[in-house]
Amino acid sequence: MPRAVAINVGANTNAPGRRGPIYPDGSFEFVPIPESEPVRESASVPTYADLDLDADVPEGALDEPVHLDPEFAEYPECEAYTYGDPHGVKARPLSELSAGDYVFFYATLTARGDPDRGWIAPDWGAYLVGQFRLARDPVSGEAYADLPADDRAAFATNAHCKRAEFDAAVLLAGEQAASGLYETAVPLSSARAGAEANRIVTELSSDSGKGPWWRRPMRFGPAETADVLALIEDGYEPPA
Whole-angstrom CA distances from 112 to 28, 102, 181, 188, 239 are: 9, 29, 19, 17, 24
The stretch 153-177 carries a mean pLDDT of 97
The pLDDT tens digits for 166-193 are 999 999 999 999 999 999 999 999 999 9
Rounded to whole angstroms, the Cα distance separating 25 from 41 reads: 41
Task: Compute the CA torsion angle 140, 144, 148, 152 (nearest 10 deg).
Answer: 110
The pLDDT tens digits for 99-130 are 999 999 999 999 998 888 889 999 999 999 99
pTM: 0.97
Contact 98, 53 (CB under 8 A): no
